[in-house]
Chain A
Amino acid sequence: MAKYLLLKHYRGAPSAVNDVPMDKWTPDEVTAHIQYMNDFAKRLEGTGEFVDGQALAPEGTFVRYDGEGRPPVTDGPFAETKDLIAGWMVIDVDSYERAVELAGELSAAPGANGEPIHEWLELRPFLTAHPNTTE
């Protein structure tokens, strides 16, 4: 039992096989893609493996502390940022192999021409809070 993050990138991942920007798809292809993602999450809930799924807006703001009594400094968005996260799904599975299997299925979501995107998803294990009780 381990939790994994499946990270979907706007930018920063290697190029997908079926690498056509979403705005160049037909509306039906967009609908089919979203349906696939929803069905996937629904199916994982059914297998007892779904934890969370969220999408992020592409544009964000950088914020940092600017000293006592001063408001935080904001900057960006930076169009040139190399790595841009589009969203994620968190799964709770029995093994690394199962996590890879599921990431592979999610990467098969249909894109242009209804063909699988073959998009690269980043798979990251969660650190647990505590060590094993038996050390």
Chain B
Amino acid sequence: MTSPIDGAALRSLTPSVLGILVRRGADFAAAEDAVQDALVEAVRVWPSDPPRDPKGWLVTAAWRKFLDATRANAARRRREDLVDEEPVPGPASSVDDTLQLYFLCAHPSLTPSSAVALTLRAVGGLTTRQIAQAYLVPEATMAQRISRAKRTVSGVRFDQPGDVATVLRVLYLVFNEGYSGDVDLAAEAVRLTRQLAAAIDHPEVAGLLALMLLHHARRAGRTAPDGSLVPLAEQDRGRWDTGVIAEGVEVLQAALARDRLGEFQAQAAIAALHADAPTAAETDWPQIVEWYDELAGLTDNPVVRLNRAVAVGEADGPRAGLAALAELDDSLPRYAAVAAYLRERDGDPVEAARLYVEAARKASNVAERDHLTRQAARLNARSTP
């Protein structure tokens, strides 16, 4: 009799098992390899022989793999002496271990792509092959990226406090990658952020978790069955996941109550106002504009001001939106797309069509380019007799 394995549940044990090995004296890179090997063995063995204590099983298996690998390397006698003593785990809790692991994998000495890859493997427990497939690069390239990342952080002390902001940036990058192939990176980012939120009490961690949940909840409505984009106003709100929206709103409200506003909380507040509207027409645009004003005070990211122009256009009419847009640099990504939308609403379909063509040419992804091209085609078909 075999039972299927809950992959996410298995992988959720990764950080604490890895933390225990490191506290027993294993160096991070070797411990990380050993935990990966133990996860692979668990997937093979558990369906026919499920353990009573999954975490204990993984610690034992990973420690054995670590000892095997270390002993196999005769040049590393010094470490062999160390592991023969089999020291007991240190006093730190697995919550602290988990947190330290996030800090290590998002260490400022790593490039963004290295931090992302290392986080997905060492914290997320994904295999190198899965990460390579998700990012559409050869497995050998991803293996090198990960081993370089491990070398880069090899000198970093495991118990050194880190910066939460760098961890959040890495998780945000993973979330924005969405999903391609069989690894759902957005779902994985939600899982990792949820795990982080359980390990540290921080309003921006909660803010990012809320933001992810509120976007993730609307995912089914965002694309048509053929993969084309559905604009927010045209989405079938019945396809939004109300349970996940409710959770996102709850996480956000608890964070906002702490009165330490940050960028992610403000973005989540905007997402919550969209998620909260029963129909597009009932969206509370004036309040969304207020949140964009808050957000603009927290970050100098020009994309915020671009999105604000859209919100102003909805709250106060397209003329007001165009006026807000006119203050911005027209080389911003999506500037032409926003201008096209506002021009059409202002009753200028010819100029809007021209701007949609320009926006399509500048789009950085296929789904958006196709959407913008269809908008241009729609307007051109209407204006030509």
Contacts and interface: CB of A to CB of B under 8 A. Distances in A.
Interface in A41-90: 44-52
A94 B135 CA distance: 13
Contact of A128 (B137, B138, B141, B364): B364
Interface residues of A, number: 24
Contact of B114 (A48, A132, A134): A48
A127 B144 contact: no
B363 interface: yes
B229 A134 contact: no
Interface in A5-61: 44-52
A50 B132 CA distance: 12
Contact of B136 (A3, A47, A48, A131): A3
Interface in B288-337: none
B145 A48 contact: yes
Given A48-B141, A51-B138, A51-B141, A129 B366 contact: yes
B122 to A, nearest CB: 15
Contact of A1 (B135, B232, B364, B365): B135
The prevalent SS among residues of A at the interface is loop
Interface stretch (B26-34, B45-53, B171-179): B171-179
B140 interface: yes
A51 B111 contact: no
Interface string B172-193: 1101111110000010000000
Interface string A107-135: 00000000000000000010111111111
A134 B211 contact: yes
Contacts of A129: 180, 365-367
A133 B175 contact: yes
A132 B176 contact: yes
Nearest to A2: B364
B196 interface: no
A130 B114 contact: no
A130 B219 CA distance: 12
Contacts, number: 86
Contacts of A130: 178-180, 365, 367
A92 B103 CA distance: 24
B176 A92 contact: no
A134 B175 contact: yes
Interface size class, chain B: 35 or more
Given A1-B112, A3-B136, A94-B111, A46 B215 contact: no
B113 A1 contact: yes
A45 to B, nearest CB: 6
A5 to B, nearest CB: 13
Contacts of B111: 94
B269 interface: no
B16 interface: no
A77 to B, nearest CB: 30
Contact of A127 (B141, B211, B364): B364
A92 B113 contact: yes
A51 B141 CA distance: 7
A47 B144 contact: yes
Given A46-B144, A51-B141, A94 B178 contact: no
Contacts of A44: 141
Contact of B141 (A45, A125, A134): A45
Contacts of B366: 127-129
Contacts of A3: 136
A125 B176 CA distance: 18
Contact of A131 (B112, B172, B229): B229
Q: Which 9 A-B pairs have the closest CB atoms?
A: A48-B145, A128-B365, A132-B176, A130-B178, A1-B113, A48-B144, A94-B111, A131-B368, A127-B366
Given A92-B141, A127-B364, 14 more contacts: A1-B173, A3-B136, A45-B138, A45-B141, A46-B144, A46-B148, A48-B142, A50-B138, A52-B138, A129-B367, A130-B179, A131-B365, A133-B177, A134-B176
28 contacts: A1-B116, A1-B135, A44-B141, A46-B144, A48-B113, A48-B114, A49-B141, A51-B138, A51-B141, A52-B138, A92-B113, A92-B136, A94-B111, A94-B113, A127-B363, A127-B365, A127-B366, A129-B365, A130-B179, A130-B365, A130-B367, A131-B368, A133-B215, A133-B216, A133-B219, A134-B215, A134-B271, A135-B215
